[in-house]
């Protein structure tokens, strides 16, 4: 099935500069981008919030990866300044990769906040004024969209057919998971790279099967849109999901296809960085590991309890907690083996502070759930802390990997 080329990063030490949105509107799926970029050896990664995107966070970036989450929260958080910066970024040669919520964001809309991001002439096919009957997963089946609703006809793996255009030309068909992303109807200049072509034995139908077929099949799953010198790639399904390697390969192939060489930056962007080696590194890693282990143990324990939280428009099950912790946990071991970490001044103390907070708030949530009290407020704080800790740790991880990789070439 994997007819695409296997990408290898140019072996000259150059890394595409990638920004991954991990702000308040993001769910956990930005960590899937982390996973595949790490696997591909792209280490020049920065994590961006609304504040970064409203300021100069995109300067020097070649790619912005906008993952799943709450599109309204993202649009509201970015506001006009963020929208202007994003438009400028793309028109100047940047590449926007939007997946799921990140795909909805730049589609044409008349809704407040969203209408700031009318970059791609395509229609959302799963938008309705009259909600169909949900057959299962009622809490995940729809989202209010002004006076209308976005409903999600299916979840899990669907079949996607590519349309013969580069860079997807060598892979005729593949599977990718759909977790609320859009089926789209492209107009004008929007190029359809792939179409929803069928369902799979893993597909879960949230509405009547015929309605699901009518709503999804034949609609655009991946759209490519040129804009100025740059480009947008919009993915309804999560091509970045780490368990779908063919989809991962296509996503990165496409990224490299449209990567602007003009925006390739030179030099080291972190002149203030510090390197911790030997005992200092061991001590810090042990302190971080202690807290991440404590959090992980509580997270596993929470998974046995029947609780979930609706935060903004998204439902968070307890299993989502470990989506933030595991990527950190796995990489702690890698850093331990390197016995070296590269960070900016103060990041060691800040990371430890975040990690301690993470353990504290997880235990607070666990205690609350056990006692049967309302834990929504604590859960919000918990997911914010998880996000903050994962972001900072991964920033340090990628800086370390990038530094080591660059040292190989200098």
Among 142, 186, 343, 362, binds other proteins (CB under 8 A): 362
CB of 304 to other proteins, least distance (A): 8
CB of 22 to other proteins, least distance (A): 25
CB of 148 to other proteins, least distance (A): 42
Helix, strand, coil shares of the chain as percentages rounded to 5? 45, 25, 35
User: Which range binds other proteins by CB under 8 A, 11-19, 37-45, 215-223, 363-371?
Assistant: 363-371
Q: Binding to other proteins by residue 211, rule CB under 8 A?
A: no
Is the link from the previous residue into 115 a cis peptide, with omega within 30 of 0? no
For residues 131-144, one letter each, b for 16 or more C-beta atoms within 10 angstroms of the residue's C-beta and e for the rest, the string is ebeebeeeebbbbe
Alpha carbon distance 345, 310 (integer Å): 37
CB of 388 to other proteins, least distance (A): 19
Cβ–Cβ < 8 Å for 139, 310: yes
Enter the tokens of residue 302: 């929470």
User: Which range binds other proteins by CB under 8 A, 128-136, 270-278, 337-345, 358-366?
Assistant: 358-366
Q: Binding to other proteins by residue 363, rule CB under 8 A?
A: yes
Report the alpha-carbon angle 93-387-276, nearest 5. 85
Alpha carbon distance 314, 140 (integer Å): 8
Exposed, middle or buried by CB within 10 Å (0-12, 13-18, 19+), for 170?
A: middle
CB of 342 to other proteins, least distance (A): 23
CB of 327 to other proteins, least distance (A): 16
Q: Binding to other proteins by residue 289, rule CB under 8 A?
A: yes
CB of 212 to other proteins, least distance (A): 38
Rounded to 10 deg, the angle between the 245-257 and 30-40 helix axes is 80
Q: Binding to other proteins by residue 366, rule CB under 8 A?
A: yes
CB of 317 to other proteins, least distance (A): 18
Name which of 17 and 289 has its Cβ closer to other proteins: 289
DSSP-derived 3-state class of residue 204: strand
Name which of 197 and 294 has its Cβ closer to other proteins: 294
Cβ–Cβ < 8 Å for 305, 369: yes
Name which of 243 and 367 has its Cβ closer to other proteins: 367
Alpha carbon distance 246, 225 (integer Å): 22
Residues 3-62, interacting with other proteins (CB under 8 A) = none
Q: Binding to other proteins by residue 367, rule CB under 8 A?
A: yes
Alpha carbon distance 204, 132 (integer Å): 16
DSSP-derived 3-state class of residue 51: helix
> How many residues lie near other proteins (CB under 8 A)?
17
CB of 298 to other proteins, least distance (A): 3
Q: Nearest-CA neighbor of 52 among 91, 14, 26?
A: 26
Residues 293-352, interacting with other proteins (CB under 8 A) = 293-294, 296-298, 300-302, 304
Name which of 298 and 347 has its Cβ closer to other proteins: 298
Question: What's the chain's length in residues?
Answer: 410
Report the DSSP beta bridge partners of residue 231: 95, 226
User: Which range binds other proteins by CB under 8 A, 219-227, 289-297, 313-321, 342-350?
Assistant: 289-297
Contact string (CB under 8 A) for other proteins, positions 245-284, x = contact: ----------------------------------------
- Which residues contact other proteins by CB under 8 A? 286, 289-290, 293-294, 296-298, 300-302, 304, 362-363, 366-367, 370
């Amino acid at each position: 099935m994997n007819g695409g080329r296997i990408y290898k990063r140019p072996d000259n030490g150059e890394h595409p500069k990638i920004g991954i949105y991990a702000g308040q509107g993001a769910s956990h799926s930005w960590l899937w981008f982390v996973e595949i970029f790490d696997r591909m050896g792209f280490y020049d990664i920065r994590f961006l919030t609304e504040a970064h995107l409203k300021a100069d966070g995109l300067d020097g970036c070649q790619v912005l990866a906008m993952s799943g989450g709450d599109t309204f929260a993202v649009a509201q958080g970015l506001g006009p300044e963020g929208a202007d910066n994003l438009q400028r970024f793309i028109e100047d040669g940047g590449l926007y990769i939007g997946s799921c919520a990140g795909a909805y964001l730049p589609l044409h809309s008349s809704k407040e906040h969203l209408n700031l991001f009318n970059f791609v002439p395509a229609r959302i096919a799963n938008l309705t004024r009259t909600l169909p009957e949900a057959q299962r997963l009622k809490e995940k089946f729809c989202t209010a969209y002004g006076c209308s609703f976005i409903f999600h006809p299916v979840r899990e793996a669907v079949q996607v057919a590519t349309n013969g255009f580069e860079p997807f030309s060598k892979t005729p068909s593949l599977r990718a998971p759909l977790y609320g992303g859009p089926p789209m109807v492209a107009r004008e200049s929007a190029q359809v790279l792939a179409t929803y072509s069928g369902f799979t034995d893993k597909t879960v139908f949230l509405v009547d099967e015929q309605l699901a077929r009518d709503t999804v099949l034949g609609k655009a799953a991946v759209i490519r849109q040129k804009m100025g010198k740059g480009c947008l790639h919009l993915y309804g399904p999560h091509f970045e999901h780490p368990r779908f390697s063919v989809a991962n390969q296509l996503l990165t192939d496409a990224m490299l296809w449209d990567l602007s060489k003009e925006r390739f930056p030179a030099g080291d962007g972190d002149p203030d960085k510090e390197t911790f080696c030997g005992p200092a590194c061991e001590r810090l890693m042990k302190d971080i590991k202690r807290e991440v282990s404590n959090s992980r143990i509580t997270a596993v324990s929470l998974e046995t309890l029947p609780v979930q939280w609706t935060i903004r428009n998204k439902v968070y099950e307890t299993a989502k907690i470990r989506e933030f912790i595991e990527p950190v946990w796995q990489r702690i071991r890698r850093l331990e083996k390197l016995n070296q970490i590269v960070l900016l001044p103060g990041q060691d103390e800040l990371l430890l502070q975040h990690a301690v907070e993470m353990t504290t708030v997880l235990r607070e949530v666990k205690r609350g759930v056990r006692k049967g009290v309302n834990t929504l407020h604590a859960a919000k704080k918990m997911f914010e802390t998880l996000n903050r800790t994962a972001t900072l740790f991964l920033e340090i991880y990628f800086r370390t990997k990038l530094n080591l990789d660059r040292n190989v070439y200098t």
